[in-house]
Amino acid sequence: MSTGTAAEPETGSPDSPAPLDVTIVFRSDWGVSTGTGVAGGVDVVVEKDKRDLPVVRGTVLTGAIREQAFVVAEALDADSPDKNWCEFVGALFGSVKRARLVSFSDASFSSFSDGTVPADDELKQKAVHEVVSLSIDEKTGTAKKDHLRLFERARACILRGTVDLLDRTLDGRPLRWSKEQREAAELVLTVSALLVRALGSNRSDGDGL
């Protein structure tokens, strides 16, 4: 597949490519931290949607997949003197001077990783739990004073969202995606998503797998 003729869809007759499904399967505890806590309670809370369930925002997905998309593009361009795939990915995800052409929705809770979905009154309690963190003094082997922290973690679960290939520019002009460009975008997005091994905070401790 080649993207040599156009790194970016042309303006022209309206064209609305169907959104692509995004599924995130967490195999461990995880959480995208809000960076804040609750006075008198947990020190760090995870991002939640309007249902009060853990969520991965579209901006987080965009950043994670964008990073891998350029890895994919470099690999596809490896045996080519041109950088058509890198140009194509650059057009997809945009830059300071140009708007991106893909839009990720938030990924919302669908079920726990074993496929179960408790009743609404149980779901919020089971979806998020609190974890205690201690800092141990190497000399004494005991917990350091004032180093007790409580933070939220979401349980392993499945989230679903979508990604759209935009059908209009920022100034309202319709975009026309060719069949080849749609297939190229699907290829890059699919492989890039599969390369994302973890999301959220505490990844160094094994969370977010």
- pLDDT per residue as tens digits for the range 6-45: 345 554 445 567 889 999 999 999 988 875 555 445 667 8
Binning pLDDT at 50, 70 and 90, where does residue 124 land? confident
Share of residues in the chain with pLDDT > 90 (%): 45
pLDDT one-digit tens code per residue, 168-197 = 877 777 888 888 999 999 999 999 999 999
Looking at per-residue pLDDT, the higher value among 85 and 119 belongs to 85
CA 100 to chain centre: 16
* 163 closest CA partner among 128, 124, 130, 192: 192
Tell me the DSSP string of 78-147.
TT-SS-HHHHHHHHHH--SSS--SEEEPPEEEEEETTS----HHHHHHHHEEEEEE--B-TTT-SBPTT-
